[in-house]
C-alpha cells in the first residue's frame, strides 16, 4: 500500500488532520489501535474554543455542533464559597461552546471519506529520516504502507513519540499529586455556566454536555480508587465543595460514567523528526483545568494540515520546516495557563498557610481587576495564532 501521509491514531487530532487533508486532495490513511466503537465510547473534555468551532466548519463537520452545542459567554470561579463570574462576552467579545469531545469525534468520523483502519495492532514506524513506511497487523495479517510523511496523533501513550531516538527529543514534565474523579449523569446542569470551585477539601468542577446531561469532577489523591466512590459519596463530597446555594440546587442521580484521570503537564520538543510530525496528546499534555487539551490538539493539526498541503500541492517546505517552532509557541502559552489555573484552584499537599493566602490573594485580585479577568478570558477562550 502507498499513501502520501499515514496518520497514527483516530482521536480528534488524527481524524481532523485526515479530514483537512482529504478536502485538499491529499491522500491519508489513518491507523487506529482500537475499534471505532471503543473510540466513540470514550468520555473526554467538552469545551470548544472559537478556533476549534471554525475548524469543524472548515472540515465540513460542524452542522450538528451548531445545532446542539451550547454557546457559553462566561464561566464562574468560586473560592471558599465566594463567586466571581468571568464575562467573556463583555470583557473581550468572545465565547466558547459546550460540545463533547465524543460528539466531535463522531462528527469527524462520519464526515471522513478516506481510509481509517481500526484495530490495527503492533503499529511500527520505520526509516523516519529517509523513505518512511509503517507496518502493522490487522486480522492477523502484517501490512506495510509506504508514505512521504507520518503524523503521530496517537496520544500520550502512543508509539509515534517513542519511535524518535531519545537523544533527539527533550521532554518537560510536571506530574501533579492528584487526579480528577469525574461523574457523568443524566440530570440538568446545576447552573447555566461552568463553575470552577476552590475549597480547602479540594477542587470541584460543575460542567455539562447538554441541558439534560451534566459532568462533575472532584479533586482526589493520585492513588484514589474509583471503587471507593459510591454515587452518594461523590455527591456528598461535591456538595461540600460548592457554595451552599449551588449545593442546594444540585440535581443528583445514578452515574452513567465514573472515572479518575491523573493530572499532568508535558511537552516534547521538537515536534518533528525527519518525516514524522507529532500533534495533540502525543506531543503535549495539559491538566484539564483550562479546558485546553482538545483545543490545542486541534490548533496543532490545523497548522500541520496547512504545512502538509503546502508541501504536497505547492511543493514548498516552508510550512513543514516551521511547524514545530510555530505550534510550540502556542503550546507553551496553553501550558502556562493550564498550570496557572490548576495552581490557583487545587489544594496541594505542600501549599501550607502562606500558599493558601497567596491563592486567596490571586482570587481577590481576579475579582477586583478587569485586566486580570480579561487575561483569564483571553486565555480560556483561546489565544490568537
Ligand atoms: N497505534 C495506533 N493507534 C494508537 C496507538 C498505536 N500504537 N496508541 C494510541 N492510539 C490511538 C488511541 O487509541 C486514540 O484513539 O490514538 C488515539 C489518540 O487519541 P487521543 O488520546 O484522543 O489524542 P488526540 O487525538 O491528540 O486528542 C487530544 O484532547 O481532551 C484532550 O486528552 C484529551 O483525547 C484528548 C486530546
Ligand atoms: C468537561 O466538561 O469534561 C470539562 C470542562 C471543562 C474543563 C475540563 C473538563 O476545564
Assign 3-class secondary structure to 121-169. Answer: EEEEEECCCCCCEEEEEECCEEEEEEEEEEEECCCCCCCCHHHCCHHHC
Nearest to 290, CA basis, from 238, 344, 246: 344
Q: Is the CB of 291 under 6 A from ligand 2?
A: yes
Residues of the chain with pLDDT under 50: none
The conformational region for residue 146 under phi > 0 = left, psi -120 to 50 = alpha, else beta, is beta
What pairing do the DSSP bridges indicate for beta strands 276-278 and 141-152? parallel
Q: Which three cell numbers stand for residue 369?
A: 481587576
Atom of ligand 1 nearest to the CA of 45: 30
pLDDT value at residue 385: 77
Cβ neighbours of 353 (radius 10 Å): 7
pLDDT value at residue 42: 87
- Residues acting as catalytic residues: 72, 196, 288, 292, 380
Each residue's pLDDT tens digit, 133-147? 999 999 999 999 999
Atom of ligand 1 nearest to the CA of 9: 16
- Rounded to whole angstroms, the Cα distance separating 370 from 302 reads 32
Atom of ligand 2 nearest to the CA of 207: 2
- Rounded to whole angstroms, the Cα distance separating 19 from 136 reads 22
Q: Find the 40 Cα to ligand 1 centroid distance in Å.
A: 12
pLDDT value at residue 137: 98
Q: Is the CB of 163 under 6 A from ligand 2?
A: no
Radius of gyration of the chain (CA): 21
Domains 2-72+96-173+264-343 and 176-262+347-381 share a fold: no
Q: Is the CB of 45 under 6 A from ligand 2?
A: yes
pLDDT value at residue 370: 98
* CATH 3.40.50.12780 fits domain 176-262+347-381: no
Residue spans of alpha helices (H) in 157-289? 231-241, 244-249
Ligand nearest to the CA of 282: 1
pLDDT value at residue 45: 86
User: Domain map of the chain by residue range?
Assistant: 2-72+96-173+264-343, 176-262+347-381
pLDDT value at residue 252: 98
Each residue's pLDDT tens digit, 333-375? 999 999 999 999 999 999 899 999 999 999 999 999 999 999 9
Q: What is the mean pLDDT of the chain?
A: 97
Q: Whose CA is nearest to atom 3 of ligand 2?
A: 45
pLDDT value at residue 278: 98
pLDDT value at residue 146: 98
Atom of ligand 1 nearest to the CA of 285: 32
Q: Is the CB of 8 under 6 A from ligand 1?
A: yes
Ligand nearest to the CA of 33: 1
Q: Is the CB of 264 under 6 A from ligand 1?
A: no
Q: Is the CB of 281 under 6 A from ligand 1?
A: yes
Q: Find the 9 Cα to ligand 1 centroid distance in Å.
A: 6
In CATH, the architecture of 2-72+96-173+264-343 is: 3-Layer(bba) Sandwich (3.50)
Handedness of CA 335, 341, 346, 347 (dihedral sign): positive
Amino acid at each position: 500500500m502507498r499513501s502520501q501521509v499515514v496518520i497514527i491514531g483516530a482521536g480528534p487530532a488524527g481524524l481532523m488532520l485526515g479530514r483537512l487533508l482529504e478536502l485538499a486532495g491529499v491522500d491519508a490513511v489513518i491507523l487506529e489501535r482500537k475499534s471505532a466503537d471503543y473510540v466513540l465510547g470514550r468520555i473526554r473534555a467538552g469545551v470548544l474554543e472559537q478556533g476549534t468551532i471554525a475548524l469543524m466548519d472548515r472540515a465540513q463537520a460542524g452542522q450538528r455542533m451548531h445545532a446542539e452545542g451550547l454557546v457559553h459567554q462566561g464561566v464562574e470561579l468560586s473560592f471558599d464559597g465566594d463567586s466571581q463570574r468571568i464575562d467573556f462576552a463583555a470583557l473581550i467579545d468572545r465565547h466558547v461552546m459546550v460540545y463533547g469531545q465524543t460528539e466531535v469525534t463522531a462528527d469527524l468520523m462520519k464526515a471522513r471519506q478516506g481510509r481509517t483502519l481500526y484495530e490495527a495492532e503492533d503499529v511500527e514506524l520505520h526509516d523516519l529520516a529517509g523513505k518512511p513506511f509503517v507496518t502493522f497487523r490487522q486480522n492477523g495479517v502484517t501490512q506495510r504502507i509506504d508514505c512521504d510523511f507520518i503524523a503521530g496523533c496517537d496520544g500520550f501513550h502512543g508509539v509515534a513519540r517513542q519511535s524518535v531516538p531519545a537523544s533527539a527529543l527533550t521532554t518537560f514534565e510536571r506530574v501533579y499529586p492528584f487526579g480528577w474523579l469525574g461523574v457523568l449523569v443524566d440530570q440538568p446542569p446545576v447552573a447555566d455556566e461552568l463553575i470552577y470551585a476552590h475549597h480547602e477539601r479540594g477542587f470541584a468542577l460543575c460542567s455539562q454536555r447538554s441541558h439534560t446531561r451534566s459532568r462533575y469532577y472532584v479533586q482526589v489523591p493520585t492513588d484514589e480508587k474509583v471503587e471507593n466512590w459510591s454515587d452518594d459519596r461523590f455527591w456528598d463530597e461535591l456538595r461540600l465543595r460548592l457554595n451552599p446555594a449551588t449545593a442546594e440546587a444540585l440535581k443528583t442521580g445514578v452515574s452513567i460514567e465514573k472515572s479518575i484521570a491523573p493530572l499532568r503537564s508535558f511537552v516534547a520538543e521538537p515536534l518533528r523528526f525527519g518525516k514524522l510530525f507529532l500533534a495533540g496528546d502525543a506531543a503535549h499534555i495539559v491538566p484539564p483545568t483550562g479546558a485546553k487539551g482538545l483545543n490545542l490538539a486541534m490548533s496543532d493539526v490545523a497548522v500541520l494540515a496547512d504545512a502538509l498541503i503546502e508541501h504536497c500541492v505547492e511543493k514548498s517546505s516552508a510550512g513543514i520546516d516551521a511547524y514545530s517552532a510555530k505550534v510550540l509557541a502556542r503550546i507553551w502559552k496553553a501550558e502556562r495557563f493550564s498550570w496557572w489555573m490548576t495552581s490557583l484552584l487545587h489544594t496541594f499537599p505542600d501549599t501550607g498557610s502562606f500558599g493558601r493566602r497567596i491563592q486567596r490573594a490571586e482570587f481577590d485580585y481576579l475579582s477586583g481587576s478587569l485586566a486580570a479577568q480579561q487575561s483569564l478570558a483571553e486565555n480560556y477562550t483561546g489565544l490568537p495564532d
